[in-house]
Amino acid sequence: MVLATTKRYTVAEYLELEEKAEFKSEFVDGEIIPMAGASANHNKIALNFCRLFPLSIDGQEYDTFMSDMRLWLPDHKRYTYPDVVVVAGSSIFTDDKQTAITNPCLIVEILSNSTQGYDRADKFKLYRSIPSFAEYILIYQNSYSVDQYNKQKDGRWILTEYLGEDAVLKLESISFEISLQDLYKRVTFENSQIPQ
């Protein structure tokens, strides 16, 4: 009996392939995992967040990146593509081409039915290995519903839930708030399933 083997790639091989690829893939400790496409609602929510997020707050500069910026997780030998990443101050890049960062303070993921389990558990655990990471926002795309995780000084993470179109998401790591009405502007909930 012959067992099928999965080809293992080096980081350099992955980056070379990714540079030429038509579609994005994540890198997981030697394996290349193709990413699924995003829905219209997914894109609208990400754009709404980025459109309203200021680049300078109280004299502090922020870099904001959408889903084309890779995030390197050295402890896990993994590259991911978060939906939105915010860096306080200057971004630390992994290379001269500035294709991947290592120091986000805030990560936003827009949940889909197929990825929400991974985003809520496994990916969150991986992200917590980043020393600068202090806040995680999970946005459901089929209802007015946002989960916010904030890192406390003792290392614990506290969950705050925001439900309903009148709720206002208030970030802890950055002085910024956004109403769910604005976050979900032009998003259509018809024919969507309710998150579980």
Each residue's pLDDT tens digit, 63-81: 999 988 999 999 999 999 9
CATH code, domain carrying 93: 3.90.1570.10
Has residue 47 been placed in a domain? yes
In this prediction, residue 3 has a pLDDT band, given cuts at 50, 70 and 90, of low
Name the amino acid, one letter, at 100.
A
- C-alpha 31/C-alpha 10 separation (Å) is 9
Has residue 1 been placed in a domain? no
Per-residue pLDDT at 35 exceeds 90: no
Residue numbers of the domain that contains 96: 38-183
Has residue 178 been placed in a domain? yes
Higher confidence at residue 116 or residue 85? 85
Has residue 28 been placed in a domain? no
Give 111-153 as a 3 state SS string: ECCCCHHHHHCHHHHHHCCCCCCCEEEEEECCCCEEEEEEECC
Each residue's pLDDT tens digit, 152-179: 999 999 999 999 999 999 999 998 999 9
Record the pTM: 0.86
- C-alpha 55/C-alpha 65 separation (Å) is 11
Residue-level pLDDT at 1: 47
Has residue 153 been placed in a domain? yes
How many structural domains are present in the chain? 1
Has residue 195 been placed in a domain? no
Residue-level pLDDT at 191: 55
- C-alpha 143/C-alpha 110 separation (Å) is 12
Has residue 11 been placed in a domain? no
Three-state DSSP class for 102?
coil
Has residue 120 been placed in a domain? yes
In this prediction, residue 119 has a pLDDT band, given cuts at 50, 70 and 90, of confident
